[in-house]
Chains A and B, each alone.
Chain A
Amino acid sequence: MSENNATDPKMDTRAAEIREERLHARRVRVDRMFTWLFLVQYVAGIIAALTVSPYAWEGKVHTVHLHVWIAAAGGAGIIILPILLSIFRPGTALTRHVIAASQMLSSALLIHLTGGRIETHFHVFGSLAFLAFYLDWTALLTATIVVAADHFLRGIFWPESVYGVANPEWWRFLEHAGWVAFEDVFLIWACVMGKREIASSAARQAQVEHLSELEQLKSAALEMAMSEMQAASA
């Protein structure tokens, strides 16, 4: 019976519907989570700038440090698009990819605002783990490309900011991106497994719904037969 049900195209369609509904609901929730995360990171960036480098000094004269402006204006510019997309286009692939890219840019901003602290680099790896909640490995790919592009371009035009030396080997960006790819391997595997679990649970639910529908039909047929018998005996 279960074999017959597994090949039932109606049930397969229903299973696909349930799977998509669940994935969509999950991705909308993750979009919302990132909206809040972006706001928290924005405030944290401003606090970091005000704490680490509030003023630029020229002798005894001080002005607001460039870092504070970058945290306030640049930080807002980075998060405006992903927040609007998560409000008006929640759960879409475009929203996920923009969020992935913006999250990596937020990491780069926080690293810069904290003076390149090695500890702040962990933000990149934490962010990748959050992005894996989407169960969409292509979003991880977008994030990785942004990290690699950031290192590659800075490595060409401004190498000291990434590697500390003016003439690094051309492939050095691959070493940095390689560690991100290392984490990606496990997160992509987790995404694939997570999607399979959702698909399997959706198929079970479709099967239960199908069986329940069959039972209802049987009951209805039985009731009809009984009422016919009662009518005949009367």
Chain B
Amino acid sequence: MKRRALITGSLIAAGLVWAATVGAMYHAVRRFETTPGRGATARTMWPAGSRIARDHDRWTLVMLIHPHCSCTRASLQELERIIEMSDPSLQTYVLVYRPAGFQAGWEKTETFEAAKRLQRAHVIVDAEGAEARRFGGFTSGQTFLYDREGALRFSGGITSLRGHAGVNRGSMDVVDIVRANARQGTHPVFGCAIVTTESEQKQ
């Protein structure tokens, strides 16, 4: 009799754990996926101190990535789609963050290799996030689009959620802006932090 009561009690407890787990998991995953990273304090004109050579006859897209950020793979997939759908004259740069104190090679991850496989994209290692600071970006996946005059036309992310590739307003805006040369756009950015504080940004 005692054993039967023990089994029934255990099953009821397991049922409660089961229901609580399902609810908690949905909540945790939703919060994780829908919480964007810090948006950029983007420069309205191409940053003068940047070491990236901008071609004045072409639109230029710059994406900041953290090579160890798993969510950034989705941003790169979306970038690939943007490159395919845009005019071949679009100049694309992927800046791969490498923090101070880490040896060369730390950044050579699967994400880095995926960036290198992108057609018509230049991959540059951004030592200590110097370029990220110049552009005013904080978060991996942050994308900046500058027109021929060097004016900022888009600043934001190009995925709908953290780690989710697929059709979304951000990547559609980038393609529309490049194609139609119209309006400006912004979209939340989802990814790991590159520059973590405002003071670090100002350095």
Interface string of A48-69 (1 = CB under 8 A from B): 0000110111111110011100
Interface string of A73-98 (1 = CB under 8 A from B): 11011101100110011000000001
Q: How far, in whole Å, are A195 and B27 apart by their CA atoms in the complex? A: 41
Q: How far, in whole Å, are A161 and B31 apart by their CA atoms in the complex? A: 12
**Most chain A Cβ neighbours within 10 Å, of B22, B30, B165, B196:** B22
A161 B164 Cβ-Cβ under 8 A: yes
| Size bin of chain B's contact surface | 35 or more
Interface residues of A in 159-198 (CB under 8 A from B): 160-161, 164-166
Interfacial chain A residues near B29, Cβ < 8 Å: 70, 112
B25 A74 Cβ-Cβ under 8 A: yes
Interfacial chain B residues near A105, Cβ < 8 Å: 22
A58 B193 Cβ-Cβ under 8 A: yes
Partner of B14, one of A70, A80, A158, A165: A80
Q: Which residue of B lies closest to A87 (CB)?
A: B7
B70 A52 Cβ-Cβ under 8 A: yes
Q: In this assembly, does A103 line the interface, its C-beta being within 8 Å of a C-beta of chain B?
A: no
Interface residues of A in 9-45 (CB under 8 A from B): none
Interfacial chain B residues near A76, Cβ < 8 Å: 21
A160 B196 Cβ-Cβ under 8 A: no
Q: In this assembly, does B145 line the interface, its C-beta being within 8 Å of a C-beta of chain A?
A: no
Q: Which residue of A lies closest to B163 (CB)?
A: A115
Q: In this assembly, does A102 line the interface, its C-beta being within 8 Å of a C-beta of chain B?
A: yes
Partner of B28, one of A66, A98, A116: A66
Interfacial chain B residues near A77, Cβ < 8 Å: 17-18, 20-22, 24-25
Q: How far, in whole Å, are A213 and B74 apart by their CA atoms in the complex? A: 71
Interface string of A145-162 (1 = CB under 8 A from B): 000000000000110110
Interface string of B22-49 (1 = CB under 8 A from A): 1011001110111000000000000000
Interfacial chain B residues near A128, Cβ < 8 Å: none
Q: How far, in whole Å, are A165 and B102 apart by their CA atoms in the complex? A: 38
B166 A164 Cβ-Cβ under 8 A: yes
A115 B161 Cβ-Cβ under 8 A: no
Q: How far, in whole Å, are A165 and B187 apart by their CA atoms in the complex? A: 13
Q: In this assembly, does B79 line the interface, its C-beta being within 8 Å of a C-beta of chain A?
A: no
Given contacts A81-B14, A81-B15, A165-B168, contact A58 B192 (CB under 8 A): yes
Q: How far, in whole Å, are A102 and B74 apart by their CA atoms in the complex? A: 28
B68 A80 Cβ-Cβ under 8 A: no
A84 B161 Cβ-Cβ under 8 A: no
- B residues with a Cβ closer than 8 A to A are 7, 10-11, 14-15, 17-18, 20-22, 24-25, 28-30, 32-34, 66, 68-71, 73-74, 99-102, 129, 140, 160-161, 163-169, 192-196, 200
Q: List 26 A-B residue pairs with CB atoms under 8 Å apart, sorted by A's residue number.
A: A52-B70, A53-B163, A57-B140, A58-B196, A59-B193, A59-B196, A60-B99, A65-B70, A70-B28, A70-B29, A73-B21, A77-B20, A78-B21, A80-B18, A81-B17, A84-B10, A85-B14, A89-B11, A109-B25, A112-B29, A115-B73, A157-B30, A158-B30, A160-B161, A160-B168, A164-B160
